[in-house]
């Protein structure tokens, strides 16, 4: 058939909709989406015919293209990706994956009404925080707890409550930027606290804080410099000394520990990351930390500390604006319950498992993935297993390099940057690292169930 004939014969939309396959798509997609997809594909074929980029087509082929387009349109913008980077707490990729129990909790609470603010014992109004406060105090040893939207909010609420129009004394070495534009000095300004930075970048002594204490001092603040380390000639004040200084002058001592782990990673052969329990035990009055970093839960900011300070925060109007919703609450309770048994937590909470699991496990898995790829891919591919390092990420344990195994892949036709793009634009996007002439997939952050998707994404290329 000539060009004009082919153009004239392009299937009509209403005819197409009568086709079984598209009619069947109506079960799962709306009519509008199917119509839009059909129009787009037909327009595309018309364009290609006019430009003589194609010489022929079949109706079946057009229908398949429309089905693909429907599929694309049905995907959510926010969707699953495979994190093959080996950065475990990857802020761009959603930080922590929830454990199964947390997800189950979320489903339960979202598919029905819940007792979010209803006290079932008394049959009267309750508060959303009472569901988890006891669990948090039990795990951390603190007197009281409050949960807000994220740790930035936790810091802001704490400073606003304890230090509005007053001075917060902080070491110059701890005026950090965490990334995603969390800068300690900026957050402090927003909270209404006046920043008084003392000491020097590398050394701050107890007397540096003490010298600046006056009747207008609101808090003594310590910030965990999560994402960098100052090495060499350094000095900082211990938690006990800070707590004692606060006691002496009757000024609350607050600590933002960022990552907020509840388990001591040094027990497992990694570097020590400050635990929440240690800060509480050492007498810090208020401690704030993230829920989706090393804790491995949903995005929240957890505030623990002395009852009187937490009570004041609960009354602060800002708390209403920073409150968490039931989805978050359900996820947090599901996560925290795991910590009642540490052996369960390190097994079931993905973030902890990824950090702590034995490299030998990932060696075996790397060979499994590489064998599957070798079996399915053509001769243009070179695939090998190698040792490498994973990172904790999320500004936590910046120095810790965790031994891991990776699959390294190269192709004689596609350059690494092209492979990166192909994988990134896959229906389930696969995010990888590039090193020289190879792409790298780290098994530590990939699930077994994702092997199939990875193989499919590269097959026939």
Ligand X SMILES: *Cc1c(COP(=O)(O)O)cnc(C)c1O
Question: How far is it, in rounded angstroms, from Cα 10 to Cα 41?
Answer: 11
Q: What is the dihedral of CA 205, 206, 212, 217, to 10 degrees?
A: 130
Q: In whole angstroms, what is the distance from residue 396 CA to residue 178 CA? A: 10
- Residue 256 in the binding site for ligand X (CB under 6 A): yes
CB nearer ligand X, residue 62 or residue 155: 155
Residue 150 or residue 411: which is nearer to ligand X going by CB? 150
* Per-residue x/- track, 180-219, ligand X (CB under 6 A): --x-------------------------------------
Burial of 283 (0-12, 13-18, 19+ CB in 10 A): middle
Cα–Cα distances (Å) from 135 to 144, 293, 338, in that order, read 10, 19, 11
Query: Smallest distance, Å, CB 279 to ligand X?
Result: 12
Site for ligand X (CB under 6 A): which residue of 223, 262, 329, 330? 223
* C-alpha–C-alpha distance, residues 17 and 26, integer Å: 9
Pick 29 or 227: Cβ nearer ligand X: 227
Closer to ligand X by CB, 84 or 257: give it: 257
Binding mask 375-414 for ligand X (x = CB under 6 A): --------------------x-------------------
Least spacing, CB of residue 276 vs ligand X, in Å: 13
Residue 405 contacts residue 385 (beta carbons within 8 Å): yes
**Considering only 78-86, 221-229, 350-358, 444-452, which stretch makes contact with ligand X by CB under 6 A?**
221-229
Q: Which is nearer to ligand X, 254 or 439 (CB)?
A: 254
Considering the complex, state which of residue 226 and residue 279 has its C-beta at the smaller distance from ligand X.
226
Dihedral of alpha carbons 365, 366, 371, 373, sign: positive
Q: Using CB under 6 A, pick the residue from 83, 85, 140, 150 that binds ligand X.
A: 150
CB under 8 Å to 102, separation ≥6 — which residues? 297, 298, 330, 331, 332, 333, 334, 335
Please tell me whether residue 297 binds ligand X under the rule CB under 6 A.
no
Q: Which of 83, 85, 204, 259 binds ligand X (CB under 6 A)?
A: 259
Residue whose CB is less far from ligand X, 99 or 223: 223
Instruction: Give dist(CA 161, CA 106) in Å, integer.
Output: 31
Measure Cα distances from 419 to 87, 310, 408 in Å.
Answer: 19, 51, 12
Q: Give the largest Cα separation in the chain, rounded.
A: 94
What is the bridge-based pairing of β-strands 301-305 and 144-148?
A: antiparallel
Q: Which residue's beta carbon is nearest to the bound ligand X?
A: 258
What angle (nearest 5°) sits at the alpha carbon of residue 136, between those of residues 132 and 142?
135
Binding segment for ligand X among 20-28, 146-154, 421-429, 432-440 (CB under 6 A)? 146-154
Binding of residue 226 to ligand X (CB under 6 A): yes
Member of 41, 145, 170, 178 binding ligand X (CB under 6 A): 178
Which of 284, 461, 263 has the alpha carbon at shortest distance from 377? 461
Residue 89 or 383 having the CB closest to ligand X: 89
Q: How far is the CB of 214 from ligand X (least distance, A)?
A: 26
The total of other beta-carbon atoms located within 10 Å of residue 99's CB is: 25
Q: Is 301 in the site for ligand X (CB under 6 A)?
A: yes
**Whose Cβ is closer to ligand X: residue 149's or residue 390's?**
149
Print the binding letters for residues 151-170 with ligand X: x by CB under 6 A, - otherwise: xx------------------
Among 161, 171, 204, 290, binds ligand X (CB under 6 A): 290
In whole angstroms, how far apart are CA 61 and each of 57, 66, 69, 169, 413?
7, 9, 12, 69, 27
- 175 or 344: whose CB is closer to ligand X? 175
Q: Are 324 and 149 in contact (CB under 8 A)?
A: yes
Question: For residue 186, what are its two tokens?
Answer: 């900026």
Annotate each residue in 120-139 with x if it binds ligand X (CB under 6 A) or - if it does not, as one string: --------------------
Candidates 65-73, 149-157, 274-282, 450-458; binding stretch for ligand X (CB under 6 A): 149-157
Determine contact, residues 289/255, Cβ cutoff 8 Å.
no
Q: Which of 258, 297, 305, 393 is in the footprint of ligand X by CB under 6 A?
A: 258
> What residues make contact with ligand X under the rule CB under 6 A?
150-152, 178, 182, 223-224, 226, 256, 258-259, 290, 301, 395
């Amino acid at each position: 058939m000539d060009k004009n004939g082919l153009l004239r014969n392009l299937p009509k939309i209403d005819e197409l909709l009568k086709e079984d396959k598209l009619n069947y798509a109506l079960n799962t997609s709306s009519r509008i989406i199917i119509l839009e997809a059909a129009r787009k594909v037909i327009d595309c074929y018309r364009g290609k015919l006019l430009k003589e980029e194609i010489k022929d087509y079949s109706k079946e082929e057009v229908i398949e293209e429309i089905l693909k387009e429907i599929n694309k349109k049905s995907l959510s913008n926010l969707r699953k990706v495979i994190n093959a980077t080996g950065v475990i707490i990857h802020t761009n990729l959603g930080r922590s994956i929830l454990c199964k129990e947390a997800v189950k909790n979320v489903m339960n609470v979202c598919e029905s009404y819940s007792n979010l603010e209803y006290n079932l014992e008394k049959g009267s109004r309750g508060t959303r925080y009472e569901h988890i406060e006891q669990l948090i105090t039990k795990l951390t040893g603190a007197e009281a707890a409050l949960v807000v939207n994220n740790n930035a909010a936790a810091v802001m609420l704490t400073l606003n409550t304890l230090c509005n129009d007053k001075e917060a004394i902080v070491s110059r070495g701890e005026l950090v930027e965490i990334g995603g534009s969390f800068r300690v000095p900026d957050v402090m300004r927003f909270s209404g606290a006046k920043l008084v930075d003392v000491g020097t970048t590398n050394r701050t002594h107890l007397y540096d804080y003490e010298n600046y204490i006056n009747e207008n001092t609101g808090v003594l603040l310590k910030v965990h410099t999560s994402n960098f380390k100052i090495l060499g000639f350094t000095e900082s004040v211990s938690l006990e000394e800070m707590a004692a200084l606060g006691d002496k002058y009757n000024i609350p001592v607050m600590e933002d520990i960022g990552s907020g782990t509840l388990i001591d990673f040094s027990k497992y052969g990694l570097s020590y990351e400050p635990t929440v329990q240690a800060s509480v035990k050492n007498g810090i009055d208020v401690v704030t930390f993230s829920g989706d970093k090393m804790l491995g839960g949903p995005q929240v900011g957890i505030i623990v500390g002395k009852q009187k300070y937490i009570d004041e925060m609960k009354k602060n109007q800002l708390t209403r604006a920073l409150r968490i919703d039931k989805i978050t609450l359900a996820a947090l309770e599901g996560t925290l319950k795991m910590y009642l048994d540490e052996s369960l937590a390190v097994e079931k909470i993905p973030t902890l498992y990824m950090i702590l699991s034995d490299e030998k496990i990932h060696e075996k898995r790397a060979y499994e993935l590489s064998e599957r790829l070798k079996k399915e891919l053509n001769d243009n591919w070179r695939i090998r297993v190698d040792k490498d390092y994973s990172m904790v990420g999320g500004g936590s344990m910046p120095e810790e390099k965790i031994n891991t195994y990776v699959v390294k892949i190269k192709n004689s036709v596609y350059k690494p940057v092209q492979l990166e793009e192909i994988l990134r634009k896959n229906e389930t996007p696969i995010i990888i690292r590039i090193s020289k002439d190879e792409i790298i997939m780290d098994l530590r952050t990939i699930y077994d169930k994702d092997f199939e998707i990875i193989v499919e994404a590269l097959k026939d290329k």
